[in-house]
Chains A and B, each alone.
Chain A
Amino acid sequence: MPELLIKTQHLTKTYQMGEVKVHALRGVDLEIHKGEFIAIMGASGSGKTTFMNLLGCLDHPSGGTYWLDGTDVHAISDTELTRIRNQKIGYVFQSFYLLPRTTAMENVELPLLYRNKLNHHQRHELAISAMRKVSIEDRMHHFPNQLSGGQQQRVAIARAIVNEPVFLLADEPTGNLDTRTSLEVMAVFQQLHKEGKTIVLVTHEQDIASYAQRNITFRDGKIVADTTNPNPKDALSDLARLPKLDEEE
């Protein structure tokens, strides 16, 4: 069994909405090991997004404990949390969240800017190698509005992996993309997984989840199913089976 990467124990999150207390998470126990490719599923309001925010150290839990790579994330300061976000987690969002009017290159470099002790050249080389991994390096001087959705998501993935994080957290990464581009993005994730990356992907599409090794389903703030997918689909071969487009690029 590979090394344990993430362990949550009875993780809860409660929001105060005026008079009413909303229990978004009602105690989640989960273990994730290095090298896993996990899809978290659930209808909207099931708590999967809240769980993703906690997993990504974007928010504080109301109760329970969360261990990430040996650190008790629940108990550390905001500054430390920022450092963890910067160096241990890579984010991929549904609407890409690239900075507008900023080149692909600069977007990918962004996490490196907040990591000290890197000079201009080191940043440049790391950014290029990250973009090469997702085959977007030929677009490095383009602005986000000059790129297609799939290309923008590749830039976002390059930004997520540029700091060599311990795991990738993707929130509905294919939610804004058509079938073909979704498959392309999933192929990128599967490739990164093959290279040893741990990936946690949040989606509400069963079809997308079937590309992952392990599926976790949320309902009403709790995990209701945790299944292993023995034969995940292969995005590249599915892509090859799609009917050819009349006009290729």
Chain B
Amino acid sequence: MPSICFYFQVHQPFRLRNYTYFDIGHSHDYEDETANREILNKVATKCYLPANRVLLGLLREHKGAFQISYSISGVALDQFERYNPAVLDSFRRLADTGCVEFLDETYYHSLSFLYSRPEFREQVRHHRDRIKTLFGQTPTAFRNTELIYSNELAREVEDLGYTTILAEGADRVLGWRSPNFVYQPAGCLKLRLLLKNYRLSDDIAFRFSNREWPEYPLTADKFAKWVHQINAAGEVVNLFMDFETFGEHQWQETGIFEFLKMIPGTILAHPDFGFLTPSEAAAHYTPVAQVDVPQYVSWADVERDLTAWIGNDMQDDAIRSVYDLEKAVRARNDPELLHAWRQLQTSDHFYYMCTKWFADGDVHKYFNPYASPYDAYINYMNVLTDFGQRLAAGGEQRPPPVSTRKTKSAKPRNPVTPTRRAAAAKQMSNVKQSPKVGRGRPRPAAR
């Protein structure tokens, strides 16, 4: 009996305010509070609240036959709590139905796995604790930021005790094989792998309202027919998508909510089909084969690789610079600084710096608060420079961390070089040479 497995990604980054070179050393306030609140409330009104209302109704109506799952980033949870607690309540009510699974991810929606293993573990633990507190569940399934995945990640996640992991069903991962089965990650014993059926997922997430698409308009009947066609040729159809699909990417006017309301009923109309959550699906089916993924895959862009976040000079420089600060941050042992550092790890900051305009430019621009990737990089580096100076200034009061950090982190590409550190130091010295910074000469941050 084949199952449908729905997973919705919920994430909102803390966007940075316009932070110029002249703010360095003067202001340690990095967030664009207004924009973050406005965007969160807008998306809550258009998507989170109405979509959760629809889903709650469906879960009650189908009495256990319909099930769904969410992965909500820690930074999104923080913003719900701060700006719109009603959203948090709506998720709690969903959790209370017992038909909703919450997945784990890195709290800060970061790429920490690629740069620092200890940091990755801490962020995952932090997320697990938060989900337990909020929803009373201890997650058993894991999805990494933007479905970034590799053999190595799978092994790490198995070590952390999870039973299930999610990834993109990219062609270069699967080859001729179907995503509609449970797989076993290469090198793992107990962990199960669920792969996104990107055709059916993207039919909803990207093509639903596209009038150029030959299948437009997409009805629940048509979609259910496609799903039912896999009968006997597959066991689990993994429909993974951004939750904002409902009401934000596909506006209410497109009929997306009506579509959503019809989906469980039309799929369940076929007696062989049901719904499961990721962990249930992984437990229910036997893996048909091992999947070997030595190189990273993700769910972004046509390339399905890491180049949306790292790969150009600016992105590499920015992300290495932030992880270069790890040792200094930890040495300060200050929760506030640690939190600020971690917020700077959120993958969106690097996504905004992507210069792959030509193929996927539209999507990148749509989600980008900056006029250009260059502006994004400049703003980020200004903030990071100030943050680095705060660490250095504080370090003077304590024994300064001198040796260059070397963690056991897996390097996805080139190794971290110490030159950034030198560049940062040089830049700081430039500022100190300045004769006119009297008021704002970098000083130890208030503790």
Tell me if chain B binds chain A: no
Q: Which residues of A contact B (CB under 8 A)?
A: none
